[in-house]
Structure 1
């Protein structure tokens, strides 16, 4: 029989709060079973899932996206290299788009941060007569929708 861990052991080993484990379980990201005494027990495989959840969160990947990636994987077995490669391929395009957006934001805001004035003619946020409203809500230039 595979070693099982208590909720406290998983929390300690994974570096997360017990409440985070309960939250992940409620979201369907991890699973436990109950003992005859109604105590939660987790398989060792849950540690790798939690590690992936934590890395994904650091990368800005939503728990919903993690849940979608986990949905096609069998419970009770450690995630494999192939599983991780498939997840990372799925997430790569979104990460690349976020990186590009952050680079645009950093470049586009440098002049405004440098002078403190949002009304100069070269400012990336300047929107004379609200002409960019036709392109949608929000800061269209900083979002990369228009030049």
Structure 2
């Protein structure tokens, strides 16, 4: 707690999710290895960036828990995370373009605006703002 700046309840939550592992002292106190402290720091950074814990868990699943990850381990994981962040950046830029182009123009045209869905004609294509989502989501592979 003191070293990480994270509450005990949050650390316990991360443990239950399998994100970090602690050892117990003879007094039943949790202690975290240095490489687990690094994981906690990455969790905090990911939270700040809006990266869901499920994504963090997927990345951490590729790292060893019984010892510090090697440089090769971190390179592999960082390449995966970099691709994910690049996809998110593209999605955010596309959303920014859509919002600036549509809302910024002030017209909110019933024919041209990609935010409007008169009479819910797009319901067959799924819930939410489907036109924008189709532009934002990476292609399914």
Q: TM-score, normalised by structure 2?
A: 0.75
1:48 match: 38
Within the candidate set 116, 137, 140, 2:127 is matched to 137
Within the candidate set 3, 8, 11, 1:18 is matched to 8
Mapped to 2, the partners of 1:111 and 1:72 lie a distance apart of: 41
Bigger CA radius of gyration = 1
2:139 match: none
2:110 and 2:118 in contact (8 A); partners too: no
2:62 and 2:77 in contact (8 A); partners too: no
Q: Deviations over 1:57-89 (max 9, x none)?
A: 333332222223222432242233322221222
Is structure 2 residue 122 aligned with structure 1 residue 125?
no
Q: TM-score, normalised by structure 1?
A: 0.73
Secondary structure in structure 2 of the residue aligned to 1:12 = coil
1:35 match: 25
Q: Which runs of 5+ in 1 are unaligned?
A: 1-10
Secondary structure in structure 1 of the residue aligned to 2:123 = helix
Within the candidate set 77, 98, 108, 2:98 is matched to 108
Q: Which runs of 5+ in 2 are unaligned?
A: 137-141
1:45 and 1:76 in contact (8 A); partners too: no
CA RMSD of aligned residues (A): 2.6
